[in-house]
C-alpha cells in the first residue's frame, strides 16, 4: 500500500476507534448541495462526513476494535 493510503487508513481507523457510531451510506445520487447540507447538519453534533473508497475502508477495518456495535 502506498504511504499516502496507509496514512489515510491509519487516520480513519483511529477516528473509528474513538467513535461510538459509524454510518455507512451510498451517496452516489446525492447532489453537491445535499451533501453539503448533510455535513452542516451533522457538524453541530461533532460528527464528520468522510468519503472513502471501499478498499481503503476494508484496509482499515482490520485495526478497528468492534465491541457491542451493531447495524441499525
Q: Find out whether 23 and 39 touch, Cβ atoms under 8 Å.
A: no
pTM, two decimals, is: 0.57
List the domain boundaries for the chain.
3-61
Q: What is the pLDDT of residues 10-33, one digit of tens each?
A: 887 788 788 777 777 777 888 999
Q: What is the pLDDT of residues 51-62, one digit of tens each?
A: 777 665 665 555
Q: Widest CA span of the chain, in angstroms?
A: 35
d(CA 6, CA 2): 6
Amino acid at each position: 500500500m502506498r504511504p499516502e493510503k496507509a496514512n489515510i487508513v491509519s487516520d480513519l481507523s483511529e477516528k473509528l476507534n474513538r467513535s461510538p457510531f459509524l454510518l455507512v451510506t451510498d451517496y452516489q445520487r446525492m447532489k453537491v448541495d445535499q451533501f453539503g447540507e448533510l455535513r452542516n447538519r451533522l457538524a453541530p453534533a461533532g460528527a464528520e462526513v468522510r468519503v472513502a473508497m471501499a478498499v481503503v475502508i476494508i484496509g482499515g477495518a482490520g485495526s478497528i476494535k468492534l465491541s457491542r456495535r451493531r447495524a441499525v
